[in-house]
Amino acid sequence: MSQITPTLIWYYYICPREVWLMAHEINPEQDNQLMEIGRLIHEATYKRAKKEITMGSMKVDLIKRENGELIVGEIKKSSRFEQSAKMQLAYYLYNLKRIGIDARGELLIPKEKKKIVVELSEELEAELEKAITDIKKIIAKETPPALVKTKYCGKCAYSDFCWS
């Protein structure tokens, strides 16, 4: 069974089918224009912070210290997927806490000049634990979940795979 990654947490809040596809290494279209824009925004912003820190299965966009506090940042191109981005960032904080590192999160959306603070709470941890349980169930299935048309399908990198 696949390891639960921050990317699977992200997809869980958008589409269970994407969770299954990604976990079974059926990768989305890599030349998808929206994915490329996201990569460019990531490279061009927040140049003074340490970027792309890899910790196990986690690849944190940026990490910094501010007034003695560790801050983990996640850069997104828009707030369209705000809930999934917050949960992905919370998952970083959850995993760091499990190894004894306290940190605060910042969801950064440079195009909108937004910074959303994310702090791990008992409620957020409980929600993540439920998501992890659900993701494990989705991954364990022999076939992907049924197609369900959502507002995200039109620009999804898996669109051709699902709807062709």
51-85 pLDDT, tens digit each: 566 767 778 888 888 899 999 999 898 898 999 99
pLDDT band at 1 (very low <50, low <70, confident <90, very high): very low
* Residue of 85, 91, 82, 84 whose CA lies nearest to 132: 91
Q: 148 versus 44: which is more confidently predicted?
A: 148
Domain ranges within the chain, ordered by starting residue: 6-163
Give the span between the Cα atoms of 32 and 28, in whole angstroms.
Answer: 8
Question: What are 93's two structure tokens?
Answer: 């904080």
pTM for the full predicted model: 0.82
Sorted by sequence, the CB contacts under 8 Å of residue 4 that are 6+ apart come out as 57, 132, 135, 136
Residue 70: strand, helix, or coil = strand
Q: What is the dotted CATH code of the domain comprising 6-163?
A: 3.90.320.10
pLDDT of residue 161: 82
